[in-house]
Amino acid sequence: MAKIVGGCLCGSVRYESEAEVVLTTVCHCRNCQKQTSSAFSVLVVLPKGNLRIEGPALASVETVGEDTGLPVTRRFCPECGSGITSEVTATPDLEWLKAGTLDDPSWLRPQMHMWTSSAQPWVNIDDAIPTYERNPPLGG
């Protein structure tokens, strides 16, 4: 895979990684819907510690995972509010990157849809892609 490069809407935050992508997913949980102000969040999952972020320190808000009850720290640009990453306590070895911030998201193909139990009824989900009503099994 080529280098992953992106940043926030205003350009204050930039990031890059050369890590192999662990997973690409679409999350339909209510927390992602609220954070993105949309029907879902598209995520690129990377091994933790492989994303280099430059710019101002990211602001954050801590929420609670809908299934696990464990903290989820959502990090975003303090200037424009663009969501950049989520740190999910239930998956401590992974970094959840907001795919909408990629400079070139054209390569991305979701490998799964998660939290489809919260999916908006007007969202069409491709039957060829695995779906999970809640959290998928991620090895634990």
Residue 140 has pLDDT above 80, yes or no: no
Q: Note whether 54 and 77 are within 8 A (CB).
A: no
What is the gyration radius of the CA atoms in the chain, in angstroms? 14
Q: What is the pLDDT of residues 52-65, one digit of tens each?
A: 999 999 999 999 98
Mean pLDDT of 74-102: 96
Residue spans of the domains in the chain: they are 4-132
Mean pLDDT of 74-87: 97
Q: What is the spatial distance between Cα 74 and Cα 7, in angstroms, rounded to a whole number?
A: 15
Task: Return the residue matching tokens 């959290």.
Answer: 135
The larger pLDDT score, comparing residue 8 to residue 70, is at 8
Mean pLDDT estimate for the chain: 94
CATH number given to 4-132: 3.90.1590.10
Q: Output 31-36 pairs: Cβ under 8 A, ≥24 positions apart.
A: 31/63, 31/66, 31/72, 32/115, 33/118, 33/120, 35/74, 35/83, 36/83, 36/98, 36/100
